[in-house]
Structure formats: C-alpha cells, structure tokens
Structure 1
Amino acid sequence: MDWDKIKLFYEVAEAGSFTRAGEKLDLNQSSISRSISALERDLSVPLFQRHARGLILTEHGDALLRAALDMRRVLEVTRQRFVETSEKPVGDLTVSATVGIGGIWLTNRIAEFLDLYPEVNIQLILTNDDLDLAMREADLAIRLRRPVQADLIQRRLFTVHYHAYASHTYLERFGEPQCVEDLDHHRLVCLGGTQPAFIQGVHQLATLGRDPKAPRPRRLEVNDSLALRHAIEAGAGIGMAPDYAMSDNPKVRRVLEQVEMPALDSYLVYPEAMRSVARVQAFRDFLISKAQRWAY
C-alpha cells in the first residue's frame, strides 16, 4: 500500500468528506477523490460509502482506519524518543489518576511540578477506570491496583490507608463511637454507584463487623470520593476516607482508631515505549519524591 495514500485516507476519514479534507490539506476535492479511488482499486475493496451528506466508512474502511491510527501512534512514539530522550522536559503530558488520589493528593502538589518544569503542560484525567496506556489514552497513570499488562513499567508509590472519620460538629451532636458495634447508632456515609468493587470494598462501614447480608443503613451514598469527603466534613455522618485526604484536615477527626482498617497500594505505571521521554522521567521522579512521606 502507498503510504501517501494511507495518510490521505486517514485525513479524509477524520474529516468525513473530501471537501473538508481538501480545506485542511489545501488540496482540491477532485484530486483527493481520485487518490482515494486509486487506493480502493489497489486494495480491491470499497473504503467509503458516498452520500450527499458526506462519507461513511465501510467495514474495510474501518479496519484500515484502525491500522492507520496504529501506525501514527508508533511514529509519534518514535519521534518523541528521538527528540526527547534525555533532553529538557517539554511538551504535553497526559496523566490518569484515581479520583481520590488525583483530585486531592496530586492536585495539592502539582503546582510545584509546574514551577519546576515550566515547559511541560499537564492534562489530568480523573477516573477509576484503567485507561489503555498502550493505546496512548494517557502517558502514565496512578492506580490503586497492580497492573496486569506485561508491557507496562510499574513502580509502587505508597500504601493508601483508610480509616473512619467524622467532623467535629457531627461528634459534638452524636458522640464518638467507641467500638464497631456503636456504628449501629450512627449515620453512615458511603461510597457507592458505579465505582469498581475493589474501591467500594474499602469504604463499607455498613458491613464492618457484620454479616454482609445484613448491613447497617447507609444514610448517604455518593458515587464520588471527593463528594464523600465534603459530606464527612459537613457533618453528614461517619465515613471511610484515605489518610492522605483527612489526616491534616482540621475539620474532621479519626474515630475507631483501635479497629484495623483496609489499605490499598498505589502504583505509578507507564508504557515501556515512554521510558526515555524526558517529561515522563521528570514526572516519575517528582511523584516518587512526594510519595516518600506516605511510603509506609
């Protein structure tokens, strides 16, 4: 296949019409149409269904577009490795992090990184889903479970310890639980919704010390860890939260300190292909240095 025709096909598929592709590439519509027709003859398959409103990819066209995307990603990674192996960190960096770690722990520290590396631009994606790093949905990620993909470099950052917290105003109104059984008489706020089961599992005061089939009532359930934190601060009830979010928070106090609570290890992961990219190296080293306080 002619690489120039593949590049042209990619632009047409992205634009959805010969006209828009021509405007972007500064080529006339007829020239683009002839090139695409020639590519279809070379492959002996139709790539587009042509309509008055634009172009629709055929099944063969969709397969070729995926292949073209893969080729562009490989070329982009190769270009970055050539340009940025050990040079000054520059460019865009897409970071994926869990909602809690990214929205609280990382954002409280990110300003220092931006000061240290003024030519690096961060796009932070907060999600508890595992984005596909091999497909460049993100350059690196902070996750709360060990990755299973063999082609990812991983580095344990720190252990996230969870404990029960309540606001001072709540404790003044309802008192402090002295044992797990006392939770039966308190308002519980919990993480729920579509969060991954392994994350929901560490937040369930409703089943602590009880048969999971007979949980305590959840007076408030939210699907976002940041909203859960705010609800605890505001006195909605007792809830589980990570120590990095609450240990220095003057609005709350840790309760049930004698009770053993769950913990999860956090990991920094990134593709092998990004190992030598300077901005990835800089961000990795920055995170490791900031994680040392919590590395217990």
Structure 2
Amino acid sequence: MDWDKLRIFHAVADKGSLTHAGEVLHLSQSAVSRQIRALEESLSVTLFHRHARGLILTEQGELLFDATQQMVKRLDATAARIRDSEDEVFGELRVTTTTGFGTMWLAPRLPKLYKKYPSLKIDLMLEERVLDLPMREADVAIRMKEPSQADLIRKRLMNIKMRLYATQEYLAETGTPHSMSDFSQHRLICQHAGTAQVAAGANLVQDLMSHDIPSKLTVNNYFGVLQAVLNHLGIGVLPDYITVDFPHLVRVLPETESGEVPVFLAYPEELRHSKRVSAFRDFITEEIIAFRKEHHAQNLG
C-alpha cells in the first residue's frame, strides 16, 4: 500500500472530514478526496460512508484505521527515541497517574525536575483509568497496582496505606474520637465506596460507612478530600504519603487503616533507552528515597 495514501486516509479518519484533514495536511479538499478514492480503488473496498455531517468509517475502514493508528503510535515512539540526545534531556514526556497522587505528591516535586531539565515538556494526565502504555496512550505511568500489560518495564516504588486525618483546629473544636462510636460527633470525608480507587481504600471506606456516622462528605478523588480536611470540615480518609507535605495534620484512630497499596512505575520496553524516561525514572527514584527518609523520621518523632 502507498504510504502517502495511508497517511492521508489516517488524517481523514481521525478528523472525520476531508476539509479538516486537508487543513492538517496542507492539501486541498479535492486533492485529499482524489487520494482517498485512489486508495479505495486499489483495495477494491469502500472505506467511508459519505454523510451530510461528515464521513463515517465502514467496517473495512475501521480495520484499516486500527492498523494506521498503531503505525502512527509506533512511528511517534521511534521519532521520540531518535530525538533523544546523548547529552541532553528535552521534548515531551506524557506521564499518567491517579488524580490524588498526581496532585498531592508528584506535582509539588516537579519544580526540581524542571530545574534540572528546563527543556523537558511534561504532559501530566491525571485520571483513574489505566492508560494503555504499549499502545502509547502515555509514556510513563505511576499506578497503585502492579501493571498487568505485557512488554512493560516496571519498578516498585513504595507501599502506602489509607488512614484517617484531621486538622488540629477541627479536633480542638469537636474533640478527638477514641473509637468508632465517637464518630457520632464528627463528619467523615472520603471517596464514595463505588468511586474508582484502589481496592484497599474502597474496602476501608466500605467498612467505615457500615458504622452509624450521621454526617458525611464524599468526593470523587483524594485531592478533594484533602481540601475539605484542610478547611476543618471533618476527618478524612487520605493516603499516608500526604503527611510529609502536610505534617500539621493529625492522625485519628491510629488502629484504623487500610491494607498496603503498592505504587509502581512502568513504561514500555521500547522506551528503555529514552533519555527523557530515564531522567524521569531517576528523578522519581531519588524523590522516593528522600520521601522514605522523611516519612520514617516523622514516624519516629
């Protein structure tokens, strides 16, 4: 198949319009249309249904689009590796992690990385959905579960637990609970048990919800829980890593906590030699070591 025609087909399928594809490719609509017709003739199939509101892929078109998407992602990965300099770290690095970890732990530490590599461009994608690394939806992932996808390099960073925290101001006003029965005087802040979150956190929330707690606030991510706790709204279920950056928070009911949650760093095997990935991996490793030391010192204190 003609590579140029496939490139034009991919743009049309991606944009759903001859006009928009032409704008991206810097070609006229008629030139794009001719190339699509020529590709359909060479394959003896119809790739698009013409519709008043645009173009819709036929079943054969869907098959070809799946193939060109994989080609484009592979070519992007290869181009990224080619651009990686021997001595300099630069270019875009797409990092995905959960909203809670990304906002509360990773983002506050990124200034150190940018100071070391000012030409680095990080696209931070925060969501609970697990992105497909081999299909290049992201370059690097930090996840609260060991990745199950094949062809990934993975590194266990640390273990975390979900625990109960409140501000000193809140406890001074409402008192410190010493058992779950004391929660009748307090407000619980947590993610809803049905919200996408780590299993250990969901189990802890489910257990807490089984008690008769009159006032509750549920949020769909830990960053929201943290903000509510910092504003003295109640006692929140939060990951223990926040204590390093928010040491003034007070742990409540120390015997109440989740099971251990592993934190993994993962990236595709094909990016093993990427300078950007190596720089990010080394940065995270250094920050985890510093975090462990500080966290250990706090626990001893």
TM-score, with length taken from structure 1: 0.88
* Equivalent residue, structure 1, for 2:13: 13
Query: Is 1:292 aligned with 2:289?
Result: yes
1:253-272 alignment to 2 at 5 Å?
253-259=250-256, 261-272=258-269
Query: Is 1:249 aligned with 2:246?
Result: yes
**CA–CA distance in structure 1, aligned partners of residues 169 and 259 of structure 2:** 26
Deviates more, 1:17-26 or 1:30-39: 17-26
Contact map agreement 2:187 2:216 (CA 8 A) in 1: yes
How much does 1:53 deviate?
4.5
1:197-216 alignment to 2 at 5 Å?
198=199, 200-201=201-202, 203-204=204-205, 207-208=207-208, 216=213
- Alignment-mate amino acid for residue 255 of structure 1: V
How much does 1:104 deviate?
0.9
**CA–CA distance in structure 1, aligned partners of residues 245 and 29 of structure 2:** 62
Q: What is the alpha-carbon root mean square deviation over aligned residues?
A: 2.4
**CA–CA distance in structure 2, aligned partners of residues 279 and 188 of structure 1:** 41
* Equivalent residue, structure 1, for 2:174: 174
Which has the larger helix fraction? 2
How much does 1:238 deviate?
1.4
Instruction: Give the 3 Å change call, closer, same or farther, for CA 68–269 of structure 1 in structure 2.
Output: same
* Equivalent residue, structure 2, for 1:283: 280
- Alignment-mate amino acid for residue 142 of structure 1: I
Contact map agreement 1:157 1:266 (CA 8 A) in 2: yes
**CA–CA distance in structure 1, aligned partners of residues 128 and 15 of structure 2:** 32
How much does 1:245 deviate?
1.4
* Equivalent residue, structure 2, for 1:134: 134
How much does 1:127 deviate?
1.2
**CA–CA distance in structure 1, aligned partners of residues 71 and 224 of structure 2:** 41
* Equivalent residue, structure 1, for 2:195: 194
**CA–CA distance in structure 1, aligned partners of residues 145 and 53 of structure 2:** 47
**CA–CA distance in structure 2, aligned partners of residues 93 and 50 of structure 1:** 37
Instruction: Give the 3 Å change call, closer, same or farther, for CA 274–215 of structure 1 in structure 2.
Output: farther
**CA–CA distance in structure 2, aligned partners of residues 116 and 197 of structure 1:** 32
**CA–CA distance in structure 2, aligned partners of residues 118 and 230 of structure 1:** 30
Instruction: Give the 3 Å change call, closer, same or farther, for CA 65–258 of structure 1 in structure 2.
Output: closer
Contact map agreement 1:233 1:251 (CA 8 A) in 2: no
Kindly, what percent of the aligned residue pairs are identical? 42
**CA–CA distance in structure 2, aligned partners of residues 214 and 250 of structure 1:** 28
**CA–CA distance in structure 1, aligned partners of residues 197 and 27 of structure 2:** 49
Determine helix, strand or coil for the equivalent of 2:166.
Answer: strand
**CA–CA distance in structure 2, aligned partners of residues 24 and 213 of structure 1:** 55
Instruction: Give the 3 Å change call, closer, same or farther, for CA 199–137 of structure 1 in structure 2.
Output: farther
* Equivalent residue, structure 1, for 2:299: none
* Equivalent residue, structure 1, for 2:227: 230
Out of 213, 218, 221, the position equivalent to 1:221 is 218
TM-score, with length taken from structure 2: 0.87
Ranges in structure 2 where 5+ consecutive residues have no aligned partner: 297-301
